Amino acid sequence: MVLLLWASVLLPLVAAAATRLAGPRADVVALAGAALAAIPAWIMLVAAAGGERAISATTWLPAAPGLDVGLRLDALSVVMAVTVASVGLAVVAYAGGYFADEPRRPAALAGLLAFLCAMQGLVLADGYLTLLIFWEIVGALSARLIAFNRAEPAGPAGAVRAFLTTRAADVGLYVALLALYAGAGTVAFGSDRPDGELGALVGIGLVLAAMGKSAQAPLQGWLAGAMAGPTPVSALLHSATMVAAGVYLLVRSHELLTGWPLEVAGWVGAITAVAGAVIALAQQDLKRVLAASTTSQLGLMFVGAAAGGPAVAIFHLVAHAAGKAALFLAAGMFQHDREGTSLERLRGAGRDDRAAMAIFAAGALSIAAVPPFAAFWSKDAITAAAEGHAGWLALVLVAGAGGAAYLLRVARILWAPAPRGLPAVAGHRTMAGAAGTLAAASVGLGLVGAPLSALLGAELPAITVTSVALSLIAAGVGAGAILLGWRAPAAVATAARAGLYADAMLRHVVQAPVAFGSRLAARLDDRVLDGAIDATGRGTLRVAGAQWRLEERGIDAAVDATGRAALRVACAQRRLEEGAIDAAIDGLARSIGRAGAQNRRLQTGRLYEYLRDTVLGTVAVVVLIALAAVL
């Protein structure tokens, strides 16, 4: 089993390397690799169903105990692994076609496979340390894949935004890990939350990390930007697997998060579910609609994890993975047909490309929770679980209505009578096959609810009449609103189009202050700190240059004072002319005349002045020794 664990992580990596080097046949190599890599996961699923559990860990940081890295086989991890591997296989197969005309196809496919490696690591990780490692790698690979179209400005920008947002949230995971280790002395899964502030840090940190990864409000903005990446990437990373890692984290950390942290997560999820739906309704780009839908659905999973426990959340995760991936893959097909994903451009595309439309419809029906599609059952479980919590229930129902509404809106646009008939692009066959498989899965996966709950050992709330009725009414209301042409108030629509201003808020609250602080610090560094150092140097030089002045004026002044006392009466007038004014004029003339060599005026060259200063120096030494003697 240990071997299988490692195989399911490492095989995709090997496949990625092979694909990168494969050249024109990269699609075949990648497909084979992905298929091969899916096998261990399925075997493990079977074994896990038979009660098999395994852990393979090794000490990673030897300085202190408890800092192991390793993989684990248990029900949760294996379910996730199978989901990842299967969706991954389908997407890789699809991508072979999608990237057919792309000169950098090997790199793209290798990137997907490498991502699969990291994602498997994430879901199979044993302990928060390993989880953190893969968590971050997944984020980085995600950024790399988003930026695949590097010449377009949107890709790199979206990648940067995605990575920075998720990494900022990852601070939570870091802090949670630190606090957990400090409090419990271990980073293993399943320990109890430490007391006091450490426990609070653990709770807040984990929830924050999950929110970031799963694009929960108010951090959801990055997911829309991530849509700049190629569509298979969006399908695999930004709908089915990576973004679901946040839900996985919540489920995995159930014991650590019981109580208020889950409550928080639930509220976040519920609000995001509604917010995502609202945003989805306002988007003018198919992929962005789907992205917003993803945040909404992930929000539902948060509610599920908080209200209903692992089985509910994971059930919806799996069902959503299949459905949403199918939707994205269909969107990718439309994208190939019409060379774009804006809804305007796609108007009527469904009529030209019936296969894609069928796949889209299957996915959409599932996500919109139309029975008997898979997500109907899973979402219903969430509704049922939320029944005890009026606030969540209301929000879930609103989100359900919204889900029906935005999918119906998109479907109507896709199926609208086309102004121009463009043929479906050739080479769709692999793409259609892969996408179709997922669409089929999204139909059938409704059945896995019971086995899943058995496997996870967690209750799936019984479906009640109330819950079904409420779900159906909600979906119906949503669909009806679209069919009746109901329009949202303009303010809501504007806000929704702007992502409910979450981005703007982040920009003003975080980004701008940081940028300002950065510029300020840079200027401080350059002008003040460094300037001070340089000024000190210059000052020293000036002191050196001024030393002659000290000799000329300081010592002279002392002598003058003595002289004044002795000879004031007799020659006050002459002294003034000869002494002070002359000296002043001389000094001025000298300073002008030799301004260039100002620093060299230490020595006047006049011996009597040396001698006079020496006598004064002697007096000074006498005083000095006298002082030393007195002290």
Partner 1 sequence: MSGLGTALVFWPGAAIMLATALYVFRTSSMARAGLLLLASLGVEGLLFLALASEFLGVLQLLMMSGEMVIMTFFMIMFMPDPGGLMGMDMTHDKRRSASLAVAVAVALAIFAVLTDWPAATLNGEAPDVRQIGFEVMGRSMFSFLFAGITILFAMVGGTMLAKHGGRFAAEAEGDLR
Partner 2 sequence: MTVADMKAMEERMIGDLPWLSPIGALVLAAVIAIVLALVLPRRRQGLVGAWVAGAHLAAAGLAAAVWIDRGFARVLEGTVMVDGLALTLTGIVGIAGALCVGLARPMLAGTDREGEFYAVLAASSLGAVVLGSAADAALLAIALGLLSLTSFIMTGYLRHSERGNEASLKYYIYGTVSGAVMVYGLTFWFGIAGTTDLAAVGRAVAGAPDAVVIASTALVVVGLAYKASLVPFHFWTPDVYDGAPLPVAAYLSVLPKLAGLIALARVLPMALPDGAVGWPTAIAILAAVTMTLGNLAALAQSNVVRLLAYSSIAQAGYLLMGIAALSGSPQGIPALVYYAIAYAVTNIAAFAVVIAVQRERDRVDLQAFAGLGRRHPWWTATLILSLLSLVGIPPLSGFVGKLEVFSAAIDAGQAWLAVIAVVNTVISLFYYLRVIAPAVLDTPGDAPPATTAGRPLNAVLSLATAATVAVGVAAEPLLWLAERSVPLATG
Partner 3 sequence: MISLPVVLAVAAVMFGIGLYGVLGQTNTIMVMMGVELMLGASMLNLVGFMRYAWPDAASGAFFVLIVMTLMALEAAVGFGLVISVFRNRRTAELDDLTELEG
Q: Does 608 bind partner 3 (CB under 8 A)?
A: yes
Cβ atoms of 289 and 368 closer than 8 Å? no
Sign of the dihedral through C-alpha 45, 47, 52, 55 = negative
Rg of the chain over Cα atoms, rounded to whole angstroms, equals: 36
Residue 500 CB contacts under 8 Å (≥ 6 apart), including other chains: 217, 275, 278, 279
565: partner contacted, choices partner 2, partner 3, partner 1, none (Cβ within 5-8 A by kind)? partner 1
Q: Which residues, in sequence order, are bridge partners of residue 82?
A: none
Strands in 213-368 per DSSP E: none
Q: Which residue of 567, 588, 621, 626 would you call a contact of partner 1, by CB under 8 A? A: 567
Integer Cα distance of 189 and 120 in angstroms: 17
Q: Does 551 bind partner 1 (CB under 8 A)?
A: no
Q: Report the candidate in 440, 439, 471 with the shortest Cα–Cα distance to residue 324.
A: 439
Q: Does 151 bind partner 3 (CB under 8 A)?
A: no
Nearest 5°: phi and psi at 610?
A: -60, -45
* Contacting range for partner 3; rule: CB under 8 A; set: 251-259, 385-393, 482-490, 596-604: 596-604
Q: Does 28 bind partner 2 (CB under 8 A)?
A: no
Integer Cα distance of 395 and 277 in angstroms: 11
Q: Does 631 bind partner 2 (CB under 8 A)?
A: yes
Q: Which residue of 466, 518, 536, 603 would you call a contact of partner 3, by CB under 8 A? A: 603
The number of residues in the chain equals 631
Cβ atoms of 76 and 314 closer than 8 Å? yes
Query: Residue 394: enclosing H or E segment and its boundaries?
Result: helix 390-414
Total binding residues toward partner 1, as defined by CB under 8 A: 17
| Amino acid of residue 557 | A
Residue 371 tokens, joined: 């029975």
Q: Give the number of other CB atoms < 10 A from CB of residue 397.
A: 22
Integer Cα distance of 622 and 630 in angstroms: 12
Which of residues 487 and 606 has its CB atom nearest to partner 3 in the complex? Answer: 606
Q: Tell the smallest beta-carbon distance from residue 546 to partner 3 (Å).
A: 15
Q: Tell the smallest beta-carbon distance from residue 567 to partner 2 (Å).
A: 24
Which of residues 607 and 629 has its CB atom nearest to partner 3 in the complex? Answer: 607
Nearest 5°: phi and psi at 127?
A: 95, 155
**228 alpha carbon, distance to own chain's centre:** 15
Which of residues 66 and 563 has its CB atom nearest to partner 1 in the complex? Answer: 563
Q: Which 483-542 residues touch partner 2, going by CB under 8 A?
A: 537, 540-541
102: partner contacted, choices partner 2, partner 1, partner 3, none (Cβ within 5-8 A by kind)? none
Q: Tell the smallest beta-carbon distance from residue 114 to partner 2 (Å).
A: 50
Residue 176 tokens, joined: 């949670």
Sign of the dihedral through C-alpha 553, 554, 555, 556 = positive
Q: Tell the smallest beta-carbon distance from residue 522 to partner 1 (Å).
A: 55
Which of residues 464 and 603 has its CB atom nearest to partner 2 in the complex? Answer: 603
Q: Tell the smallest beta-carbon distance from residue 620 to partner 2 (Å).
A: 7
First to last CA, the chain: 85
Cβ atoms of 295 and 216 closer than 8 Å? yes
Integer Cα distance of 145 and 237 in angstroms: 9
* Contacting range for partner 1; rule: CB under 8 A; set: 71-79, 226-234, 314-322, 555-563: 555-563
Q: Give the number of other CB atoms < 10 A from CB of residue 497.
A: 14
Total binding residues toward partner 2, as defined by CB under 8 A: 34
Q: Does 454 bind partner 1 (CB under 8 A)?
A: no
Q: Which residue of 186, 433, 559, 610 would you call a contact of partner 1, by CB under 8 A? A: 559
| Cis geometry, peptide bond prior to residue 372 (ω within 30 degrees of 0) | yes
| Amino acid of residue 351 | R
581: partner contacted, choices partner 3, partner 2, partner 1, none (Cβ within 5-8 A by kind)? none
Q: Tell the smallest beta-carbon distance from residue 562 to partner 1 (Å).
A: 5
Q: Which residue of 462, 490, 565, 627 would you call a contact of partner 1, by CB under 8 A? A: 565
Residue 360 tokens, joined: 């889209």
Q: Does 562 bind partner 1 (CB under 8 A)?
A: yes
Which of residues 351 and 575 has its CB atom nearest to partner 3 in the complex? Answer: 575
Which of residues 49 and 620 has its CB atom nearest to partner 2 in the complex? Answer: 620
Q: Tell the smallest beta-carbon distance from residue 608 to partner 1 (Å).
A: 6
484: partner contacted, choices partner 1, partner 2, partner 3, none (Cβ within 5-8 A by kind)? none
Q: Tell the smallest beta-carbon distance from residue 615 to partner 3 (Å).
A: 7
Which of residues 533 and 571 has its CB atom nearest to partner 1 in the complex? Answer: 571
* 3-class DSSP string for 515-578: HHHHHHHHHHHHHHHHHHHHHHHHHHHHHHHHHHHHHHHHHHHHHHHHHHHHHHHHHHHHHHHH
* Contacting range for partner 1; rule: CB under 8 A; set: 21-29, 158-166, 326-334, 552-560: 552-560
Q: Report the candidate in 278, 273, 249, 245 with the shortest Cα–Cα distance to residue 261.
A: 249
**HSE toward the beta carbon, residue 45, CA cutoff 13 A:** 15
Which of residues 59 and 562 has its CB atom nearest to partner 1 in the complex? Answer: 562
370: partner contacted, choices partner 2, partner 1, partner 3, none (Cβ within 5-8 A by kind)? none
**443 alpha carbon, distance to own chain's centre:** 32
Query: Residue 203: enclosing H or E segment and its boundaries?
Result: helix 196-213
Q: Which residue of 543, 557, 558, 584 would you call a contact of partner 2, by CB under 8 A? A: 543
Which of residues 258 and 547 has its CB atom nearest to partner 2 in the complex? Answer: 547
Q: Does 585 bind partner 1 (CB under 8 A)?
A: no
Q: Does 557 bind partner 1 (CB under 8 A)?
A: no
Q: Does 566 bind partner 2 (CB under 8 A)?
A: no
Q: Does 604 bind partner 3 (CB under 8 A)?
A: yes
Mark residues 595-614: x for contact with partner 2 by CB under 8 A, - for none: --x-xxxxx-x-x-xxx-xx
Q: Which residue of 62, 64, 605, 630 would you call a contact of partner 3, by CB under 8 A? A: 605
Mark residues 593-612: x for contact with partner 1 by CB under 8 A, - for none: ---------------xx--x
Integer Cα distance of 190 and 581 in angstroms: 91
Integer Cα distance of 343 and 335 in angstroms: 10
Q: Does 571 bind partner 1 (CB under 8 A)?
A: yes
Report the interface residues with partner 3, using CB under 8 A. Answer: 597, 600-608, 611-612, 615
Report the interface residues with partner 1, using CB under 8 A. Answer: 556, 559-560, 562-563, 565-567, 571, 575, 579, 608-609, 612, 615-616, 619
Report the interface residues with partner 2, using CB under 8 A. Answer: 537, 540-541, 543-545, 547, 597, 599-603, 605, 607, 609-611, 613-614, 616-618, 620-622, 624-631
